[in-house]
Structure formats: C-alpha cells, structure tokens
Amino acid sequence: MNRECPGCEGEMGDQGRVVDLLDEYSPYLDQNWTDLVDGDPDSSLNGKCLHLFVCQDCKLAMIIKE
C-alpha cells in the first residue's frame, strides 16, 4: 500500500514492518513475538503493526500503523 507524502505530495512506498528491518532473521520470526518489541503496546492486541514508509521523491521516512 502506498501513501501520499505530507512533505512533497510524492508517493511513499511501504518498506515493510519495522520489526522485519531489525536484523536478517526478524522477517522469519513469529509475528506474535515480534509484536512485543515493535514499540507499539497495542499491536499484539489489535492486529495492526508499524510499517516504514519512505517517499520516493524527497526520501522522507515515516512509521505508520497499518
């Protein structure tokens, strides 16, 4: 899913879950465990996790709950 950049109105691409970017093994770990360390205390309860979005034009990076 892509979003509009609030800085330049360019296209922000979804780079994936924040916890998947921690190290090379994180994408293979059980999501119930990684939700405990993603910085969002409610992610293990509501099924939404934090994703990194980066603007393709101005390179603005934002973490958004998806």
Q: What pLDDT is recorded for position 53?
A: 97
Q: Is the pLDDT of residue 43 over 80?
A: no
Question: Domain range for residue 18?
Answer: 3-65
Domains of the chain: total: 1
Q: How confident is the model at residue 11 (pLDDT cuts 50, 70, 90)?
A: very high
CA atoms within 13 A on the CB side of 5: 16
Q: How many helices (H) and strands (E) does the chain have?
A: 2, 4
Q: How confident is the model at residue 62 (pLDDT cuts 50, 70, 90)?
A: very high
Query: DSSP code of 37?
Result: G
Q: How confident is the model at residue 59 (pLDDT cuts 50, 70, 90)?
A: very high
Order of all β-strands in the sheet with 3-4: 3-4, 11-17, 50-55, 61-65
Q: Could you tell me the maximum CA-CA distance found in the chain, to the nearest angstrom?
A: 36
